[in-house]
A and B are shown apart, each in its own frame.
Chain A
Amino acid sequence: QKEVEQDPGPLSVPEGAIVSLNCTYSNSAFQYFMWYRQYSRKGPELLMYTYSSGNKEDGRFTAQVDKSSKYISLFIRDSQPSDSATYLCAMRPNDYKLSFGAGTTVTVRA
């Protein structure tokens, strides 16, 4: 079983919809949680970063972490075609070795 599970999708939504992405994990030592966005044929770039449980909002993006359920989420409000990308969750314990989910491919239709 993988340490981090992420539904690969693909996910297709109309412009303006809310996109909901999530990951589950099995390692209770994970303390730091991230979401990376990866456009086609590009390297991943950090989108959101959260320490421990709680919510974090940045513009149209909200990241949630529920450590009791070992579940993290990313919500994209008012989605735009430019949000079409693959979204990868990543997490780590107190060392700096990241464990990544497989990525969810999102297409926002104009």
Chain B
Amino acid sequence: DAGITQSPRHKVTETGTPVTLRCHQTENHRYMYWYRQDPGHGLRLIHYSYGVKDTDKGEVSDGYSVSRSKTEDFLLTLESATSSQTSVYFCAIRGEGEDTQYFGPGTRLTVL
């Protein structure tokens, strides 16, 4: 398995609360991604990072922010969680010049 961990693996929270999901890698890869996966939509890119402190928006970035202060950690924050953000969140990493994205095990988030 690629050295990617996500925490927490499961979370239930209430509408309006902030939530932070963590992705940690041991591969020293430059690129990191956050996706959400919902039935009928497949995987959709939320934000990605191309280096420490270098991030950019993806397809569905509204309501989410990210930070990357170290190569190994990429944090996804839901500033004020809504029920529409109930989903499974996957982190992925990619090495420089490589095409393969390696995915973490996912975080199942429920917003009540």
Residues of A within 8 A of B (CB): 4, 6, 8, 32, 34, 41-46, 49, 88, 90, 96-98, 100-103
Contact = CB atoms under 8 A, between A and B. Distances in A.
Interface residues of B, number: 22
12 contacts: A4-B42, A8-B40, A44-B90, A45-B102, A45-B103, A46-B100, A49-B100, A97-B48, A98-B45, A100-B42, A102-B39, A102-B40
B10 to A, nearest CB: 11
Main secondary structure of the interface of B (DSSP, over half): strand
Interface of B: 4, 31, 39-45, 48, 58, 90, 92, 94, 99-106
A96 B40 contact: no
A29 B8 CA distance: 37
Given A42-B105, A102-B41, A102-B42, 16 more contacts: A4-B42, A6-B42, A41-B106, A43-B4, A44-B103, A45-B103, A46-B101, A88-B43, A96-B31, A96-B94, A96-B99, A98-B101, A100-B42, A100-B43, A100-B44, A101-B42
